Every structure is written in structure tokens, then in C-alpha cells.
Amino acid sequence: MFPKWFNEWNKHNPTNIYGPAIFVGVVGAAVFAAAILIALGQPYATESLQTGPRGTGMSITEFDSDRVVPDPDIAELIEDPPFAIEADEPIASDIYENVQILGGLTESNFNRLMAAMTRWVAPEEGCAYCHGDGDVETYGEDSLYTKVVSRRMIEMTQNINENWDGHVNANGQVGVTCMTCHRGQNVPSDIWFKLSPVNERVSGWAAVQNRATPLSSFTSLPSDALETYLVEGETIGVHDLESRVAGIPGQEGYPGIQQAERTYALMNYIANSLGVNCVFCHNNRAFYDGTEVTPQWGTESLGISMVQELNNDYLIPLKDTYPPERLGPVHQDAPKAACRTCHKGYQQPLQGTNVIADWPELATTGVPDYGN
């Protein structure tokens, strides 16, 4: 079929025809698969969550395989509506000793709430976790630190529901109870302690390197972001995006590179705590423009302020109440809260389940609204 000279040349100059054939086959298969995906559409069901004004394309896409899987702790929630108040029914402070809060509740609703707190915080230990192993007559004593802490935590819960509605109920009535953080555990998961110093000189290298810790999501970003922003209340900011801007980094409110890294550490922590990415709060077309952020940015800003208050007004002052084994391993500091303590990796704790509906006693420091 081919000329004799061609056959002789090909005989003495063999060519590998399999390599190019395999390459062409792989490319062809990839093109075919891409054509099938385009023709049939996304093989996995997704849902878009709008994060900004309509028509701006500000949304994030979630796979249904992740979105519709329920938080397993939701199964532990049970309905327990309050008892109707009867005329002249005695209140808890008239029946029990040393009822410093919740004393205005009727006996039936007081005991209903105590039983619920036992389920939420100490299902294995029962009432003895706060009241000890004595008889009911000894329940008024404050001999256990757990009871003193619990009393303050009830006040904290009431404060959250009463004064931080803009964060907690931004998307509908949700509220918080002890269950929001504790999930049936004596000590909530995802509390945190100070770990400073968080950097060290690397052997053989003069630079200082941040140590990877759980507080930095095991990155080399600073691990003191929660301490700096959620306790000390330092302004969150990054270095100026323009060059040759007047100002000394780290001084007079001008953020330096250390503040920028610390800010990124906090943002990384928040994103992981809520199971979202940066564009959940920020506009990717104007990332640093505070006038073009999403509504979720405002909700999160309120959350940061709320956590600052919870840590400084409720949690840190309890340091002297805790036994040594409950304090931090490095600085012996009190346990503190942050976003993940409640959210556990979801945009809303318990995926937005209304946990306060049956517990008006925890929704206000005043008289509970029982709807009658």
C-alpha cells in the first residue's frame, strides 16, 4: 500500500504510536464526560442560598447531601410545653429555700425547667450534679460549684434571649437554652482557653513562627485571635490595600501585618464554626467594602459583640468558682465561649430549630409569657 522507500524508512525509524493514541483517547473521554454533564446538568442536587439583593448574583451554592442532613442533636429535643397557671398557685420561692432566680415561677413550671436542665446538662448524674447526694431538704445549699455556675448560666441564657434578638432570631424565632451549647454534656464542646504565647523561634531559623493549634484550625495563623477579638475587643482589621499609606503599622489604630494575620485567623475560625465560606458575609466583588456586605455580615457582627459580653460579664468572672481541673491548662483561666460553642459547624445552632418555644422562663428576666 505504501511505497517501498517509506516501508524501509519506517522499519529503521520506528515510532511509538501508542502514547499519542492514549493521550487522544483520554482527552476525548474528558470532552465526552464534560458534554454529558453540560447536557444533563449537575448530577448532585444543590440549592442556592441568597446572601444579597436580588439580581446581584450574591448567593452560595450548597449540596443537598450536606444541607438536608439533620444535626443529630435535634433528635434529642423533646416537646415539653409549660403548665397552665392556676389561680393562687404557690411560687417556687415560697416553697424552696435559696431560690435566687426563677423564684417567681409556679412550682410545676419550676420543676419542669429543673428536669429539662438535667436532661440538657447532666443526664447521667441527674439532680445530684448540682444539688449533691443529700435529701431534698439540702437542695437549697450552695455547696457545689456546679450549682453556683448553673445559676449564672441561667442568667446568661435569659440575657441572650432578651437582649440579643438581632443575632439569635435574625431569621425567625429560635432562641437558646442550655441545650444549645451543652447537648447532654456537663461541659459544652468547643469551649476554649488562652494558649499564649502562640509563636516560637524555629530551630535554625531566626524568624518567629506561629504554632498550629486547634484555635487556629491547625494553620500557622495566630492562635490568639479569639483572645484578642472576643475578650479584649481589639478592632478587627487588616493592613491597608494601598501602598505608601501614611501611618505606622501596629500604632495609632493602623493595623500591621500581625493584625491582618490575626484577623484572617478569626475569619477562618468563624467560617469553620458556621460551615460557610467568606462570601457568606462578604461581597466577593468588593470584599473590603463595608457598604456592600451581605445581611449576614450584620448578624455576625452582632454575634461577635454578644460573645464579647458573654465572656467578660458571665464566663471569665467565674474563674474563682471553678475547681483547678476545670481551668485552662496553660494559664489556669476560666473556660470561654466562641461561635462554634453554639453553632457546631452549622449556620444556625441546631439548624434553626425553635428551642425556646416551650421555655418562656429562659426568654426573659421578667415575668414569662405563657400565652394565657
What tens digit of pLDDT does each residue of 185-195 get? 999 999 999 98
Query: Cβ(231)–Cβ(304) under 8 Å?
Result: no
Going by C-alpha positions, the residue among 358, 366, 367, 355 that lies closest to residue 175 is 355
* Mean pLDDT of the region 239-265: 78
Q: What's the rounded Cα separation, in Å, for the pair 122 and 153? A: 14
The domain limits of the chain are: 190-343
**Which helix (DSSP H) or strand (DSSP E) does residue 64 occupy?**
helix 64-67
* CB hemisphere CA count around 207 (13 angstroms): 3
What pairs with residue 91 in β-bridges?
A: 106
Is residue 142 predicted with pLDDT exceeding 70?
yes
pLDDT score recorded for residue 178: 97
pLDDT score recorded for residue 207: 59
Q: Across 160-210, where does the E strand assignment appear?
A: 199-201, 208-210
Range from 34-43, 65-74, 145-154, 267-276 carrying the lowest mean pLDDT: 34-43
Q: What's the rounded Cα separation, in Å, for the pair 316 and 61? A: 39
Dihedrals φ, ψ of 73, to 5°?
-70, -15
Dihedrals φ, ψ of 13, to 5°?
-130, 70
On average, the pLDDT of the chain sits at 87
Q: What's the rounded Cα separation, in Å, for the pair 203 and 207? A: 9
Fill in the DSSP letter of residue 186.
S
pLDDT score recorded for residue 20: 67
Helix (H, G, I), strand (E, B) or coil at 168: helix
pLDDT score recorded for residue 149: 97
Is residue 64 predicted with pLDDT exceeding 60?
yes
What tens digit of pLDDT does each residue of 293-336 get? 888 999 999 999 999 999 999 999 999 999 999 999 999 999 99
Dihedrals φ, ψ of 364, to 5°?
-155, 155
**How do 59-63 and 46-50 pair as beta strands?**
antiparallel
Going by C-alpha positions, the residue among 312, 315, 342 that lies closest to residue 326 is 315
pLDDT score recorded for residue 119: 96
Going by C-alpha positions, the residue among 296, 331, 22 that lies closest to residue 167 is 296
The CATH fold of domain 190-343? Photosynthetic Reaction Center, subunit C; domain 2 (1.10.468)
Is residue 205 predicted with pLDDT exceeding 60?
no
* CB hemisphere CA count around 103 (13 angstroms): 10
Is residue 15 predicted with pLDDT exceeding 90?
no
Is residue 206 predicted with pLDDT exceeding 60?
no
Place of cell 494553620: 219
What tens digit of pLDDT does each residue of 253-290 get? 777 788 888 999 999 999 999 989 888 998 888 888 88
Q: What's the rounded Cα separation, in Å, for the pair 181 and 340? A: 9
Q: Which DSSP string corresponds to 261-311? A: HHHHHHHHHHHHHHT--GGGTS-TTSTT-TTS--HHHHHHHHHHHHHHHII
